[in-house]
């Protein structure tokens, strides 16, 4: 009888790829996990119990066919595993690296309920497509036939690029406009290399241009070209501009020198790692070396800032968050990594103001968690008389992002927006009330996740293709 290749979770422990020690990884911006070796990937994939109703799949925003590609990996059918994986995910090697798997696919993996660690789904997904790149299985897109319709996409982040990929596969003429000099959005300039090395993103950008997608970079829509001009040049337009307006802090001294925005800080660091000249880094303004750094916030952006500051050689790095660890929005995995790397967390601590003309300290109020608010989260309340000053000569504000005012910036009073300023669009298609205008990713959802932007981009591309096909049918009748 053939040997059962799967269900090994009873005898094989969960094991992640080797993680470099904190001392070693703090010296560079390379990813912290080594790649899986073949035998290890096969072993870990073989732990899957091949559930008839796979909760991992329903917890993945892309509904990836996880049990099947785990089976194919475990049984050495890696090229088939790659084909299946890429059929539902435009950037599997990116999601495998940066999805918060504990809250998504792995959070739904049932073998954890029976006391065994979850299958390492993300690490296997990364292994499959990294191997596909190495073996040359990932190829530029060659559509079966070219189509006459064209789509303009504003924003070359994961949402815009996922839509570009799907549309190009169907032969549509695609132009992506972006104000940055490199495509990738936050994959390129937000997320640091220790979570996502940049050659992984650049390879995807190259693949799209080799597939015939036109990238118009250094093109700020609203300044270098108007929204109306883009709308006039294409049969459909997708807005995929993300959210970039940083939430700010008030209080005395909030405008002091040395208090900087998280995204400015992370972008400077990422640019430096590309080899670009970054005057704000060279002047010391966006450089943590030798400084006492305080990062304010408890989300993924704050975690990326504290860990970047460690790598830049800060004297000390502290993170202030107004709730406790259990209630922070950032991934627990990244918080653990930050702690291992030497970051100190000051939970239940909120800034009240700042000392010094050039910042010297953060005036901190201690908090406790009170009654739940309307969303069910416990609201932080000030503990009177417990204030203190935390020394700091670089303060990084990582308090979240809001949408820019596109109606004003683009002179589009009819563009439908919500009361939060996000673009109002149908969730399953991205369609807005403006004819032929769609929107996807963070600009619709508010600050979210890469995997959701990919999902939106793919859904929107599908809806546009249906619309084009329907118009053709009508024209032929
Ligand atoms: P973006 O990636 O923001 O791309 C938007 C693009 O539009 C940009 O390239 C921008 O230049 C361009 N653009 C904007 N306005 C214009 C204009 N007027 N003209 C031309 N171009 C324009 N998610 C995860 O899943 N895992 C993580 O680990 C993670 N870490 C994160 C860390 C940080 C620091 C940040 C800030 C976010 C992180 N996220 C993470 C969230 C994730 O990056 C976003 O949800 C995702 O990138 C949204 O994709 P998008 O395509 O909607 O927008
Ligand atoms: Fe898990 Fe993200 Fe991959 Fe889905 S895309 S399987 S959530 S890592
Ligand atoms: Fe395999 Fe876990 Fe998914 Fe079940 S839930 S199919 S065990 S990965």
Distance from the alpha carbon of residue 458 to the mean position of ligand 2, in angstroms: 15
Select from 61, 142, 118 the least CA-distant residue to 95.
Answer: 61
Quick one: 150-243+403-476 is in which CATH superfamily? FAD/NAD(P)-binding domain (3.50.50.60)
Q: Is the CB of 460 under 6 A from ligand 1?
A: no
pLDDT in tens, 33-76: 998 989 999 999 999 999 999 999 999 999 999 999 999 999 99
In the sheet that holds 394-397, the strands lie side by side as 259-261, 394-397, 292-296, 316-320, 344-346
For a substitution probing ligand 1, which of 185, 335, 458 has the most ligand atoms within 8 Å of its CB?
Answer: 185
For residues 391 and 361, is the Cβ–Cβ distance under 8 A?
A: yes
Dihedral, 468, 474, 475, 477 alpha carbons, nearest 10? 150
**Mean per-residue pLDDT for 428-433?**
97
d(CA 381, ligand 1 centre) in Å: 32
First to last CA, the chain: 59
Q: State residue 201's pLDDT score.
A: 98
In degrees, rounded to 5, the angle at the alpha carbon of residue 265 between the alpha carbons of residues 259 and 268 is 140
Can you give the residue ranges of every domain in the chain? 8-135, 150-243+403-476, 248-401
In this predicted structure, what is the pLDDT of residue 1?
A: 44
CATH of domain 8-135: 1.10.1060.10
According to the model, what pLDDT value does residue 404 have? 96
42 Cα to the center of ligand 3, angstroms: 15
Distance (angstroms) between ligand 1 centre and the Cα of 206 equals 19
How many percent of the chain have pLDDT more than 90?
A: 89
Q: Sorting pLDDT into bands at 50, 70 and 90, what band is 2?
A: low
What is the H or E stretch that residue 197 is in? Answer: none
- Ligand 1 pocket test target in 90, 98, 175, 190 with most atoms within 8 Å of CB: 190
The pLDDT tens digits for 117-171 are 999 999 999 999 999 999 999 999 999 999 999 999 999 999 999 999 999 999 9
Q: How far is CA 170 from CA 38, 87, 133, 173, 464, in A?
A: 34, 14, 22, 9, 11
Q: What is the CATH number of domain 248-401?
A: 3.50.50.60
Q: Which two tokens stand for residue 444?
A: 């619709």
Spatial contact of 444 and 460, defined as CB atoms under 8 Å apart: no
State yes or no: pLDDT of 445 exceeds 90. Answer: yes
For ligand 1, say whether the CB of 195 is within 6 Å of any of its atoms: yes
Q: Which residue has a Cα nearest atom 1 of ligand 2? A: 105
pLDDT over threshold 80, residue 462 = yes
Distances (CA, A) of 313 to 27, 53, 141, 317: 8, 48, 43, 10
From the CA of 245, which ligand is nearest?
A: 1
**Average pLDDT of the residues in 360-367:** 97
Residue owning tokens 């597939």: 211
Q: Do 297 and 324 contact (CB within 8 A), yes or no?
A: no
Global confidence as pTM = 0.97
442 in contact with ligand 1, CB cutoff 6 A: yes
Q: What is the pLDDT of residue 208?
A: 98
**Within this chain, domains 150-243+403-476 and 248-401 share the same CATH topology:** yes
ipTM over 0.90: yes
């Amino acid at each position: 009888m053939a040997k059962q290749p799967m269900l090994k979770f009873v005898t094989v422990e969960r094991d992640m790829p080797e993680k470099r020690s904190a001392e070693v990884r703090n010296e560079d911006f390379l990813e912290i996990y080594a790649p899986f070796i073949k035998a290890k990937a096969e072993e870990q994939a073989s732990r899957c119990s091949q559930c008839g109703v796979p909760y991992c799949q329903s917890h993945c925003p892309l509904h990836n066919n996880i049990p099947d590609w785990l089976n194919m990996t475990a049984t050495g059918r890696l090229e088939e595993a790659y084909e299946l994986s890429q059929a539902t995910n435009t950037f599997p090697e990116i999601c495998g690296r940066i999805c918060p798997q504990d809250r998504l696919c792995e959070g739904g993996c049932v073998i954890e309920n029976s006391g065994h660690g979850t299958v390492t789904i993300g690490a296997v997904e990364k292994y499959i497509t990294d191997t596909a790149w190495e073996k040359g299985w990932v190829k530029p897109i060659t559509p079966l036939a070219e189509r006459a319709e064209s789509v303009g996409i504003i924003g070359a982040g994961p949402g815009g690029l996922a839509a570009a990929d799907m549309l190009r596969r169907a032969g549509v003429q695609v132009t992506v406009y972006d104000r940055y000099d490199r495509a990738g959005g936050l994959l390129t300039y937000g997320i640091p290399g220790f979570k996502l090395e940049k050659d992984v993103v650049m390879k995807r950008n190259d693949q799209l241009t080799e597939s015939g997608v036109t990238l118009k970079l250094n093109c700020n829509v609203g300044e270098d070209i108007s929204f109306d001009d883009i709308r006039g040049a294409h049969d459909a337009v997708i807005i995929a501009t993300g959210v970039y307006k940083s939430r700010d802090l008030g209080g005395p001294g909030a405008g002091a020198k040395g208090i900087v925005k998280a995204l400015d800080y992370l972008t400077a660091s990422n640019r430096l790692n590309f080899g670009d000249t970054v005057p704000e880094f060279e002047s010391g303004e966006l450089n943590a070396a030798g400084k006492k750094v305080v990062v304010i916030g408890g989300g993924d952006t704050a975690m990326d800032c504290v860990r970047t500051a460690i790598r830049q050689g800060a004297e000390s790095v502290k993170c202030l968050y107004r709730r406790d660890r259990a209630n922070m929005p950032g991934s627990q995995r990244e918080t653990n990594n930050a702690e291992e790397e030497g970051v100190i967390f000051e939970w239940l601590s909120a800034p009240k103001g700042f000392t010094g003309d050039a910042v010297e300290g953060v005036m901190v109020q201690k908090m406790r968690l009170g009654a739940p608010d309307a969303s069910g989260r416990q609201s932080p309340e000030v503990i009177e008389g417990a204030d203190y000053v935390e020394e700091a000569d670089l303060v990084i504000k990582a308090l979240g992002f809001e949408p820019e005012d596109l109606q004003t910036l683009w002179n589009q009073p009819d563009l439908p927006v919500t009361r939060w300023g996000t673009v109002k669009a149908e969730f399953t298609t991205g369609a807005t009330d403006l004819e032929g205008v769609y929107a996807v990713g963070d600009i619709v959802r508010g600050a979210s996740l890469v995997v959701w932007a990919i999902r939106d981009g793919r859904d929107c591309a599908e809806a546009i293709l249906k619309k084009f096909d329907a118009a053709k049918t009508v024209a032929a009748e």
